[in-house]
């Protein structure tokens, strides 16, 4: 099953870039065509409300290796390299070792989702005041530039399957399989598929649920889910 469609159906977008510092209830700033940037590490750093927000695990949203992304060979290896760098796993030049291949499949396993219910978040912002006088934040809110991460999907391991047109060089695979790093495992499955598993330092974010905060004339008006083909994160 396609991983992007599965997550998008639940309101989440995959994180595309090598930066993976996403956590629930962060505030992000997105202006025009600029890349979004982290603005506040937690909503409580900007707002004060009578009731605290409660993050929960969502057992209904789970990702395993049956949900995958499929890419052409060099595109796939480029993406794999960025993910490896982002989670702190060893970055290796797979293209140099494997030569030419056909396609790359990317998936994740051992996932966990943390989110805050939308109703609770809406109530919080309806009752909240700024933590202090903050004209810059108010300007961004009035211009619909502020986003809150209401949920994050985390995973513990990256899974990659690299397929050849015919066969891979067994000597190259043997060289890769001898890498002495517990966070990275490479093995040949049959003669034409290389399987790779990588882990970082614990759970790492793979997808986000983002909501645009709608403010008008100093009042909170609502939250709007922004999960779509724009791939904001």
Torsion on CA atoms 94, 233, 207, 140, rounded to nearest 10: 160
Domain ranges of the chain: 3-25+52-133+149-206
For residue 109, with 0-12 CB atoms within 10 Å meaning exposed, 13-18 middle and 19 or more buried, which class applies? middle
pLDDT tens digits along 188-199: 887 788 898 999
- pLDDT score, position 113: 97
Instruction: Please give the structure tokens belonging to residue 145.
Output: 């530039």
Gap between the Cα atoms of 123 and 115, Å rounded: 15
- pLDDT score, position 48: 96
Nearest to 103 by CA among 155, 63, 68: 68
Gap between the Cα atoms of 20 and 16, Å rounded: 9
Which residue do the tokens 């934040």 mark? 137
pTM equals: 0.90
Beta strands in the chain (DSSP E): 13-14, 27-29, 37-40, 47-48, 56-57, 68-72, 103-115, 129-130, 146-163, 184-189, 193-216, 219-225
pLDDT tens digits along 67-93: 999 999 999 999 998 898 888 887 777
Q: Which residues of the chain have pLDDT under 50?
A: none
């Amino acid at each position: 099953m396609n991983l992007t469609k599965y997550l998008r159906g639940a309101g989440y977008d995959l994180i595309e870039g090598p930066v993976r510092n996403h956590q629930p209830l962060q505030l992000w700033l997105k202006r025009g065509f600029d890349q979004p940037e982290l603005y506040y590490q937690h909503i409580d750093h900007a707002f004060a409300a009578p009731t605290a927000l409660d993050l929960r695990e969502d057992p209904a949203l789970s990702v395993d290796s049956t949900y995958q992304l499929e890419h052409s060979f060099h595109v796939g290896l480029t993406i794999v390299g960025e993910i490896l760098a982002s989670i702190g796993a060893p970055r290796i030049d797979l293209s140099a070792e494997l030569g030419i291949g056909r396609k790359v499949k990317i998936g994740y396993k051992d996932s966990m989702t943390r989110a805050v219910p939308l109703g609770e978040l809406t109530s919080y912002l309806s009752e909240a005041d700024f933590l202090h006088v903050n004209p810059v934040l108010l300007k961004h809110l009035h211009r619909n530039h502020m986003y809150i991460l209401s949920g994050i999907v985390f995973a513990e391991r990256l899974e990659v399957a690299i397929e050849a047109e015919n066969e891979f060089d067994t000597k190259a695979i043997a060289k890769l399989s001898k890498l002495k790093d517990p966070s990275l495992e490479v093995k040949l499955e049959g003669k034409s598929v290389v399987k790779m598993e990588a882990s970082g330092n614990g759970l790492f974010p793979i997808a986000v649920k983002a909501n645009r905060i709608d403010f008008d004339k100093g009042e909170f008006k609502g939250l709007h889910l922004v999960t779509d083909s724009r791939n904001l994160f």
